[in-house]
Structure 1
């Protein structure tokens, strides 16, 4: 590519699409956005329940798989990741959750200036166009549309009432003053359609002459001049290409592929790089390490009433009904996706029955359908699912290149359930789900517990069930963590330590896992990064370089 840009963004996912749109709001800033996948044209992307299709579609999903995990009885765990404009925001479960105030205050306490909850809240609000309007905790005018589920569901209402009967209060806003409680999720949907970051941010920006978007363009390595990154090599249509930039390369390829690209480009643990004959540009032993993820354990129930999505999907009449609901009114199961209800609670108790954690340690996803795996064929009976995940696991895994071939998938390991706390908390979550299912409010709806089944009852048996059936809930983070210790990869302004002209802007920079779904925090990181970059190149920030505007492009001066 003969032309030169100010910034090159690698990855057009939750963070990358947001970042591209925000940086090109300045007409004098030229941005190239590289996306390895195709445009987001599949109808299954835009239909909320299409999550069940894109979960296995290799055209828009990387379909990664971990190494055999000893904590999961040596099973390989399937890790879907978005491979299209919008990235994982185009194929995810649509749930809008930020996490807890304490998550971000911890980031700040770890030495990351500017990342406390009070400092990141304005960026959550900036992106958010909540149908409830603006408030202290919400934005009403942002491009990312956030919607209520709509019509209340009999089964979800029973779950919320059951949670209340076990001591968990009703909560109508998990992103408000407090997270704890049971209620309905808000979703990244807009009038019955998915609102990915491609739709929210990129679509309005695509007609800007200062934004160039290249799809099916997979980055293969960074280009250096000395210790400054000045461009990106990539493959497109089987052809090796390159692009150069005046200011910076911004990696937004996600917690798996951002560290992979760093390692391929000589930034990472020196022993790993030497193993594959890659010259060391910067020895950073934290690149690819510190991976944290949420493990999901699903409990399946047969319902006493034919009111589940299983019933509708298992009959042609039911399919026609929900199809018409969506076509005529943009409502019904097709407009909602998989999970409608949820719960955040403190499940792990001490020997006196008191909660161990000061804030919720377990999250529920409540689905009015049931299937053996996410995106799988629904069961032939009326079914629903109570799934639980430990919010702040101690277990840590890694992402490491498996070959110098940039098109080869890296080696991934989650090391789930590797610590006693993770095991005890997950078992407590399963028991909490059973307690709610056995509440007076829910008992009329429970015909039987299909899995794990009443015969699975001791802690040892429940742990074995979790090892045999647990799966990712798609929230890997931390593989290029922000911080000041010897395992950190970027500083609090997201600049890679020891290298000029390079930042990471995605979930890999998170030093610890947030207490909830990660899509909203990924977008927040990009919103904040855009402001940091503007500050650094206007001379107002604490950046290592500044810029002047010549009228057409952004040039770097010492």
Structure 2
């Protein structure tokens, strides 16, 4: 790890800062493309469009700079939760979680979620991408093409694997360096109960039944390497790319049925900026459908509750909400073991039933206790580790609902966690597999014993699951891509029924991908940018 900055890097940083100061001080009345949201997908769309020097690109971001230690230091990621870099969304109370109201953190600031997340790079399973292709009717969304994109964008730092990994792209990906002995114990435990282990989690492992591996991370020289930094960092000195922070998008401006600009709030002032070619929404699975609804695009009945004129009836806007739900199982260390890297270095995907041909369970080992608000009362060890394990393919669905005509007012998030009985069946299998792993012989040198849940059965186990459930922060699917009546965008990510408007973020997923959603959002950004460039000959 080095904090040394070369003269060239220092000169570039000054040049980029001066360029952006000049560009944001003299905003144009219109740009060719206005990209809303500087997260994992939006950062990529803006960069790829700005690669053509003739295209004027404006990137709007509601949050602020990522130049803070809590963002850049991988070990400090938990300190961003609940901070000004977190939207601080809250799900509505639900009886399926014993009346609990879960916080749903999402990144607010340059980099979006890629600036506050756990930095895990998880590409999704082959079956996810083939499902995307099936739903969209476009084979370019399928696994083989997506694998080629991953190879092109990665700068892989692990054991060479040219069939699956690339080494010349902008995204610096490395295995967690010098992992904790507890991470190696997890891989050994997996082997002891018949789960295969792999050299890395983003190749052969995610083409079949699953397995266990040391996690891939977006960390470079000991610092977070967010997708904003990977893609836009080197491009901030360009005269055709303007990055405006503190700009909260309120609604899309239309001329007839064509998007011609964006209305945003900055410094207490509402401003409209034009887009001569397209507007791209990359605001995430909560803000994107919210902006669509305030712009008159959504379910007619939902908009009618607040007298919002209907521009385009799309019943699926804000529906199909999905997230990965986790149930933490905790063990106490025999002797304290300090967390390393991000504190999460080993991952595992496996099946709740033997008849499945793809994993439906997701496990991330966390090297410190992670209780829920309820399970904390059961007693948390001062030193311990958590199997942060949950549902990779949940059956439950939620929805978002407007609460006001005011675009600044929050939406109601009916997350629907565990509302489908099938998820409770899978959750029980998930917890039992957690316990089999954590109590395997491989862990005995390191742990004093299991703290929770212990030997619970029947209603007691169900109570624990509902009390323990927390989000993985993988909110998605609320403006889904597809061809049915609940679809919001087509296979090119154009919003149905209007012109000049696309969506490129996790909301377009027809179903949540198997694993962390950062890497799939990079694919969404790359695919969107390619299709836009082709459409305009860029």
Q: Structure 2-normalised TM-score?
A: 0.91
Residue 110 of structure 2, aligned match among 85, 89, 94: 85
- Which consecutive residues of structure 1, in runs of 5 or more, have no partner in the other structure? 310-332, 350-354, 539-548, 550-558
Report what 1:507 is aligned to.
506
Report what 2:35 is aligned to.
9
Q: In the TM superposition, what is the alpha-carbon distance from 1:137 to its structure 2 partner? A: 1.4
Report what 2:489 is aligned to.
490
CA distance in structure 2 between the aligned counterparts of 1:380 and 1:432, rounded to whole angstroms: 21
Check the 8 A contact 2:176/2:215 in 1, yes or no: yes
State how 1:458-473 maps to structure 2 within 5 Å: 458-473=457-472
Q: In the TM superposition, what is the alpha-carbon distance from 1:102 to its structure 2 partner? A: 0.8
Report what 2:343 is aligned to.
338
Q: In the TM superposition, what is the alpha-carbon distance from 1:368 to its structure 2 partner? A: 1.6
Report what 1:163 is aligned to.
190
Residue 242 in structure 1 maps to residue 272 in structure 2:
yes
Residue 58 of structure 2, aligned match among 32, 36, 43: 32
Superimposed CA distance per residue, residues 504-547 of structure 1 (whole angstroms, 9 cap, x where no aligned partner)? 00000010111111000001110111111111112xxxxxxxxx
CA distance in structure 2 between the aligned counterparts of 1:112 and 1:251, rounded to whole angstroms: 22
Q: Structure 1-normalised TM-score?
A: 0.88
Superimposed CA distance per residue, residues 161-185 of structure 1 (whole angstroms, 9 cap, x where no aligned partner)? 1111111011122110222112210
State how 1:145-156 maps to structure 2 within 5 Å: 145-156=172-183
Residue 443 in structure 1 maps to residue 444 in structure 2:
yes
Q: In the TM superposition, what is the alpha-carbon distance from 1:134 to its structure 2 partner? A: 6.4
Q: In the TM superposition, what is the alpha-carbon distance from 1:65 to its structure 2 partner? A: 0.2
CA distance in structure 2 between the aligned counterparts of 1:108 and 1:186, rounded to whole angstroms: 26
CA distance in structure 1 between the aligned counterparts of 2:482 and 2:78, rounded to whole angstroms: 37
Q: In the TM superposition, what is the alpha-carbon distance from 1:434 to its structure 2 partner? A: 0.6
CA distance in structure 2 between the aligned counterparts of 1:125 and 1:281, rounded to whole angstroms: 41
Query: Root-mean-square deviation (CA), in Å?
Result: 1.7
Residue 73 in structure 1 maps to residue 98 in structure 2:
yes
Check the 8 A contact 1:68/1:74 in 2, yes or no: yes
Q: In the TM superposition, what is the alpha-carbon distance from 1:373 to its structure 2 partner? A: 4.9
Residue 54 in structure 1 maps to residue 59 in structure 2:
no
Q: In the TM superposition, what is the alpha-carbon distance from 1:380 to its structure 2 partner? A: 5.7
State how 1:313-392 maps to structure 2 within 5 Å: 333=340, 336-346=341-351, 348-349=352-353, 355-373=354-372, 381-392=382-393
Superimposed CA distance per residue, residues 133-152 of structure 1 (whole angstroms, 9 cap, x where no aligned partner)? 56121221111111111113
CA distance in structure 1 between the aligned counterparts of 2:221 and 2:361, rounded to whole angstroms: 31
- Which consecutive residues of structure 2, in runs of 5 or more, have no partner in the other structure? 1-26
Check the 8 A contact 2:332/2:381 in 1, yes or no: no
Residue 401 in structure 1 maps to residue 402 in structure 2:
yes
Check the 8 A contact 1:427/1:459 in 2, yes or no: no
Residue 130 of structure 1, aligned match among 139, 148, 156: 156
Check the 8 A contact 1:134/1:141 in 2, yes or no: no
Check the 8 A contact 1:300/1:370 in 2, yes or no: yes
Residue 177 of structure 1, aligned match among 204, 216, 232: 204
Check the 8 A contact 2:477/2:512 in 1, yes or no: yes
Report what 2:216 is aligned to.
186
CA distance in structure 1 between the aligned counterparts of 2:143 and 2:344, rounded to whole angstroms: 27
